[in-house]
Structure 1
Amino acid sequence: MILLSDPRVAEVPVHECGEPLVEISSVPAIALDPRERDAAGTYGRVRAGALERLRSAAGTLPDGVGLLVVEGHRSSTEQARRFARYEDRLRRSGITDPVELRHRASAFVSPVEVAPHCAGAALDLTLVDAEGVELDMGGAVNGHRSGDERSCPLDAPGLSARARHNRDLLARTMSGAGFVNYPTEWWHWSYGDRYWALITGAACADYGPV
């Protein structure tokens, strides 16, 4: 498993393509949840190319199933705050080695310099039914915040058949549109960033921090 703290991620060159951030809510077929809303509305934006791929992904879902985006773009300031907060949590648990802290923290919060969300390339999302009710995914989006790290990986053990089915559906839908998953977080998918480039073998990332 390659984590975002892996030096190979930072070594991927970025050839910024200049695509703008666009509003996820401009696509009626994709729902946007307010739980991560920020004052500037940053959470509800993503790069234009990523949104077009997300639109395509939504169109492949079975009738009665839709996508619910929890968060898109995130400022570098907010990313740094979240990383420091998670490191503090780990430090309080007894981990003091700086290298181990960075490695462990990056399982759930990216180092700011390579963060896919800061590039407008990442989406935290889940599946919902026709009434907008979240499907059983075997764990909550951002479940690590409540201490439920065990259920967070896409291939987490012990899932019910229903939860496994829904995760597999999400994975087929997003990977089919060109996104890659961050394997410690079933809900996190990205396109065009450094992590995506490393995993897919692309020569460079299309999106840098914005």
Structure 2
Amino acid sequence: MKPYQRIAIAECHEPLVELPEQFARVIPHPYTKLGAPYGDRSPFFVRQGILDRLLIADSHLQKLQPGWKIQIFDAYRPVAVQQFMVDYTLKELVNANGLDLDTLSETQREEFQQQVYQFWAMPNLDPATPPPHSTGAAIDISLLDETGNTIDMGSEIDEISERSFPNHFENSDLPYHRHREILAKSMISAGFKRHWNEWWHFSHGDQIWAWITNQDEPGANAIARYGRV
């Protein structure tokens, strides 16, 4: 169990709502394109409170970089999709290292799984420990410039490497850290917290948000208000 999974959840029963056209989307959606089992669900839904905060973040972004847009890569993600993508990512990572998933030793499998779980939450049906995206409170996002071109953030979303760590380019002359900070400042201004390993992942009101809040503000005693939906 990861430390944030010990955070209590007091579900507020806020509805899932669709993200408006104000926010650009990655189309076709990367996981549905792979065959991820969304069923009648959509990856472009969030809790109402998350949408409200996204609108605040977008207003702040316009002050920092007029004309830039938040682009939604992924938002709501059922546990079945989480399982599908963890399995897919593990297989891709193993194959990229010239190995075959079916012939791995137990030690090798565990090592590759640990790499995957640095960036992907473990699929879990226990309501006390939901994967963050299954709560509707977590979003994966990037930026577009005023002409609609993708801003280069230094790594692709979901890239399994140290380049995905938020501060990886902090001491570089390349513009990636500045781009990441523009995104982070916009989101943090609206109350979001950024995942420690993923420049693209932000949330509010889930267990990760509460855990980071308690790390940043000792004595805050924050708990989650969004569980799995």
Q: Say yes or no: TM over 0.5.
A: yes
Q: Which of 60, 65, 87 in structure 2 is aligned with 1:84?
A: 87
1:190 aligns with 2:200: no
- Change over 3 Å in CA distance of 1:20–1:196 after alignment to 2: same
Contact 1:46-1:72 within 8 A present in 2 as well: yes
Equivalent AA in structure 1 for residue 55 of structure 2: R
Aligned CA RMSD, in angstroms, stands at 2.3
SS in 1 for 2:60: coil
- Could you tell me how far 1:129 is from its partner in structure 2? 0.9
Most deviating of 99-108 and 60-69: 99-108
Whichever residue aligns with residue 132 of structure 2, its letter is P
* Cα separation, 2, equivalents of 1:68 and 1:44: 11
Deviations 1:15-70 (A, max 9, x none): 10001110112xx4321222326463511101110111011000011212110111
Change (3 A) 1:159 1:137: farther
Give the Cα separation in 1 of the matches to 2:41 and 2:145.
25
How far residue 180 of structure 1 moved from its aligned partner, in angstroms, is 1.1
Counting only pairs closer than 5 Å after superposition, residues 31-50 of structure 1 correspond to structure 2 as 31-36=24-29, 38=32, 40=40, 42-50=42-50
Residues 95/199 of structure 1: CA separation in 2 closer, same or farther (3 Å cut): farther
Q: Under a length normalisation based on structure 1, what TM-score does the superposition of the two structures give?
A: 0.84
**C-alpha separation between the residues in 1 aligned to 2:105 and 2:201?**
26
CA distance in 2, matches of 1:35, 1:143: 18
Match of 1:155 in 2: 167
TM-score by structure 2 length? 0.78
Say if 2:22 is the partner of 1:29.
yes
Structure 1's unaligned 5+ residue stretches are: none
Partner of 1:68: 71
Flag the structure with larger Rg: 2
- Alignment partner of 1:125 out of 128, 131, 141: 141
Q: Name 1:166's counterpart in structure 2.
A: 179
Same amino acid, percent of matched pairs: 29
**Which of 3, 8, 30 is the equivalent residue of 1:13?**
8
Partner residue of 1:136?
152
